[in-house]
Amino acid sequence: MKANRIIPTLFAALLPLAASATTLVIPASGTGPGANDSHWATELTLHNTSASAITATLTFHDVAGTAGTSAISIAPRATVSVADVVATRFGRDAATGAIDVTFDSAFARKLTVSSRTFNKSAAGEFGQDIPAVDLASVPAGGDVVVLSGPSSATDARFNFGIYAIEESDVKWDLVRADGSIAASKEVTYAAGTQVQYNSGITSLFNAGSENNDTVHATVTSGRALPYGSAVNNASGDPTYVPAVLASADLRINFAGVDLGDKGSIDIADANHDGVLDRAVDVHTGTFPVGFRVVVTSANPVTFELIDPPADVKFYDNRGGISWSPSARFAGTSTTLRLRVTADGSTEIITIPVNIH
């Protein structure tokens, strides 16, 4: 099961690192042959601004999970570059994966990490910088990430992928230039795995590529970092496509929440972003608290709770929720997330909650 943000200490305990460690994430690295006679390698560079030596642990994650670790030491104020790091440090002939760089938090502002993944060809090297991302800023449940594809689907192929920090559910949408959704996929990724979809419009969505395709990756649960790369077919020159956090208007009509099931909206979603405008107050006690999530539609609506606390359940199939929180959670805050399908569209709705 994925972590629920019920109490901060519980959530922190589930993170895959000690409290005294800092982790920087490089979502994509690789070695070996690729499409159109390309040959890929990743160079990792670390710089120490401290007067003390720093030891870091490199951990490689591929589609199967953790695939190797390697320690590296950086002398005071020194720079270390690791050529073809996936091959030389992790012994892989052909692989794609993410790299975690973990070190003592005392050096959090004193160790810089950068990477360059490039295609080696007879005409020279064509490369892209793939920035290291602080683990704390990795998208979490409810976040929408936008990956912008190439303007010419003929000239360039669009590779994209994801690194799951925790077990994560992700809804992928292929959005055409005119705003229509051409295809959608929901995928669950195991914790610590990295998956890349080469020519992803075809390999993930089973669709043809078009100019200015855009991919939305909505993290419905867990924590995961999507990324992309547009690769010129003629030269093999790649351009990194970073994950851009965004907020999207819903394609369904989420009216809000009816407290006590009175037949009226007490808390609305006025800006239609899928997040209730203010928190629902839930009180502990002997009897459960009830409220209704209201979605208006010409057709039947389906509701599904995403990784809820154990004492949350539906009391009917029309969005009525019953909750009996334990008194030990009084004074904390959390969120409920629901997957809602209405009029042919599926969206994620977020309900912030204060427990009293």
Q: Do 165 and 242 lie in a common domain?
A: yes
The mean per-residue pLDDT over the stretch 221-230 comes to 95
CATH of the domain at 274: 2.60.40.10
**Which residue among 246, 274, 296 closes a domain?**
246
At residue 230, the pLDDT reads 96
CATH of the domain at 128: 2.60.290.11
Q: Is 4 among the domain residues? A: no
- The DSSP result for 261-321, as a single string, is S-SS-SEE-TT-SSB-SSPEEE--SSSPEEEEEEEE-SS--EEEESS--TTEEESSSSSEE
The percent of residues in the chain predicted with pLDDT above 70, rounded, is 95
Instruction: Report pLDDT digits (tens) over 50-71.
Output: 999 999 999 999 999 988 999 9
Q: Quote the tokens at residue 162.
A: 């994801």
Q: Quote the tokens at residue 109.
A: 């502002």
Residue pair 43/86 in contact by the 8 Å Cβ criterion: no
Q: Do 75 and 126 lie in a common domain?
A: yes
- Please tell me the distance from the alpha carbon of residue 60 to that of residue 93, in angstroms, as a whole number: 14
Q: Do 17 and 108 lie in a common domain?
A: yes
Instruction: Report pLDDT digits (tens) over 273-308.
Output: 899 999 999 988 778 889 999 999 999 999 999 888
Query: How far is residue 238 from each of residues 72, 95, 154, 168, 251, measured CA to CA in Å?
Result: 28, 17, 15, 28, 34
**Which residue among 213, 246, 279 closes a domain?**
246
Q: Quote the tokens at residue 233.
A: 């077919």
Q: Do 48 and 131 lie in a common domain?
A: yes
Per-residue pLDDT at 4 exceeds 60: no
- The DSSP result for 13-63, as a single string, is HTSSS-TTEEEEEEEEEEEEE-GGG-EEEEEEEEEE-SSS-EEEEEEEEET
Q: Do 48 and 114 lie in a common domain?
A: yes
At residue 326, the pLDDT reads 87
Q: Is 1 among the domain residues? A: no
Residues contacting 281, CB < 8 A, separation 6+:
353, 354, 356
Return the sign of the alpha-carbon dihedral for residues 225, 231, 236, 239.
Answer: negative
Query: What's the mean per-residue pLDDT of the chain?
Result: 90
The mean per-residue pLDDT over the stretch 250-278 comes to 92
pLDDT band, very low/low/confident/very high, at 6 (cuts 50, 70, 90)? very low
At residue 2, the pLDDT reads 39
pLDDT band, very low/low/confident/very high, at 8 (cuts 50, 70, 90)? very low
At residue 16, the pLDDT reads 46
Instruction: Report pLDDT digits (tens) over 323-350.
Output: 988 888 899 999 898 999 998 888 889 9
Q: Do 33 and 114 lie in a common domain?
A: yes
Q: Do 129 and 147 lie in a common domain?
A: no
- Determine the structural domain holding residue 41 and report its residue range: 9-135
Q: Do 120 and 23 lie in a common domain?
A: yes
Residue 225: closest CA among 195, 256, 255: 195
At residue 9, the pLDDT reads 31
The percent of residues in the chain predicted with pLDDT above 90, rounded, is 74
**Which residue among 94, 119, 135 closes a domain?**
135
Instruction: Report pLDDT digits (tens) over 106-157.
Output: 999 999 999 999 988 777 888 899 999 999 999 998 789 999 999 999 999 9
Q: Is 2 among the domain residues? A: no
Query: How far is residue 309 from each of residues 35, 90, 223, 312, measured CA to CA in Å?
Result: 45, 39, 18, 6
Computed on alpha carbons and rounded to an integer, the radius of gyration of the chain in Å comes to: 23
